[in-house]
Structure 1
């Protein structure tokens, strides 16, 4: 039987360096999930005309898209392309009995668009504490391509990274470019992306989105993984060797990767956002938590 229709796709989202790659690898080991790496940015860009800034796509921008931006034929083109990717990556799995998984942080500012394309989709949102994300981004955004955090022009627009492939243009603020930029823009990316995903999560039913706090995944990998499989309606086949490889200390490295000046920049960002930080995730008082955490790293906790 030829499978020619994509059913119940799964999209794993979150800002970069939040554990999306790690968790996608874990899910991809399940006998009923076919993970099609890496992010399928070329497929989104070339098959559906959805730009995703990256060297592989040669797209410069990664625009915010909503349900109003869906064009005729995009669902069909993507479905065919995704099924083709499933066949390429199926190994010994049965496509008919498997879920398609696309892990892609670039979808963070496009989820209403994705939902309009695939109304039967399920979403997994993994989020991680801001200092760890900022420190990890600082470390990884050090390649030949320049990542640029654009200025906010329209308050309704959710930004994502843009790319320059031939150095930083003269008219561009270098503080917004990485490597070498001001880490407050890494925090701004974390904030805006997660806030957009949070807002989207409230627009769909709870049985269509599963939230994972990366720190809880690290502390209790078997429990969180099993809960996610239950959400997906799949048998509890746990990749125990892979789960045991998760580094329990991965969230303790951020203060070593950031200078005092950079930590102070993150602190100023936290003070600027204030209690707005408390309304992104289903947990209380991130404002006070980050204020204390960052000031402690500066050795000034007595001054708060």
Structure 2
């Protein structure tokens, strides 16, 4: 067992599906003198040192499985903790931060691994950032133009899927072309948004195991100082305003989604929203997402 004094103390994990603002939020938070953001997702450490598969262009993993506390392997925590501390030391020296800074890691691949992550780091704190479904779908479509990904079929109702990276630009013959991007059916991008945000919601809201904060990406864009202040208050760190990074935020970031989707894609997305119906309302408490997204897509189709 790893010694208690060697554990990461109250690590911060930023969670949310791809293209939801996890990178932006982590950079803003990581600008704080007391927080050490060790770089983009740390998939190299999770995959290589920790043997936690995360399929992406930067790893050789061919899967991104849903994991829980039963999947922890002997020595896994020790290897991960050692690697994280080493990376923290490097970053703290480079950015002249306190050695006692708080570890922060963001990674969309956490969405289907939260019970596993919580079992490794039981005193972890979570910040969940979500972005409206249509914006995420359009942004992922654009992202996948340069990185081919496959959305696997569901074989177990109790697990949450994640994307499988494919180095090939075109789908192999044995793969459903509608599930392969670029040029796949956008309903599968929406399915990813729904399934992964639902997994986060089910774990954080229903388990009550860890302190967590929910952030809406659109609200972060509209009022970054207010939202960042809420985050620092939640994390119990001194007030701080990352002024330079706030100035770089693109205020128009969410205004282009409907121009990136064809009429056929908007119709496919609309059908997905109708099929899910009130299920969408259960993801974020007190938010009528079904009505909101139906209205957004209807307005886009009418233009």
Global fold match (TM > 0.5): yes
What TM-score range do you get, normalising by the shorter chain? over 0.9
Alignment correspondent of 2:77: 75
**What per-residue deviation string (whole Å, max 9, x for no partner) do you get for residues 21-46 of structure 1?**
11111111110111111111111111
What is the rounded CA distance, in whole Å, between the counterparts of 1:206 and 1:222 in structure 2?
Answer: 28
Q: Shift of residue 47 of structure 1?
A: 1.0
TM-score (norm 1): 0.94
Gap runs ≥5 in structure 2: none
- Which consecutive aligned stretches of 4+ in structure 1 deviate over 4 angstroms post-superposition? none
Q: Secondary structure at the match of 1:212?
A: strand
1:117 pairs with 2:120:
yes
Q: Secondary structure at the match of 2:225?
A: helix
Gap runs ≥5 in structure 1: none
Alignment correspondent of 1:94: 98
Instruction: Answer with 134-143 or 291-300: which moved more.
Output: 291-300
Q: Secondary structure at the match of 1:102?
A: strand
Q: Shift of residue 160 of structure 1?
A: 0.4
Instruction: Answer with 129-138 or 86-95: which moved more.
Output: 86-95
Q: How does 1:142-291 map onto structure 2 within 5 Å? A: 142-143=145-146, 145-166=147-168, 167-205=170-208, 208-291=211-294
RMSD of aligned alpha carbons: 1.5
**What per-residue deviation string (whole Å, max 9, x for no partner) do you get for residues 215-261 of structure 1?**
11111111110010011110011112322332222111101111111
What is the rounded CA distance, in whole Å, between the counterparts of 1:288 and 1:211 in structure 2?
Answer: 20
Q: Secondary structure at the match of 1:202?
A: helix
Q: Shift of residue 206 of structure 1?
A: 7.6
- The 1:121/1:207 distance shift into structure 2, 3 A limit, reads closer
What is the rounded CA distance, in whole Å, between the counterparts of 1:283 and 1:262 in structure 2?
Answer: 28
Q: Shift of residue 73 of structure 1?
A: 1.4
Q: Secondary structure at the match of 2:302?
A: coil
TM-score (norm 2): 0.94
1:150–1:176 contact (8 Å) kept in structure 2: yes
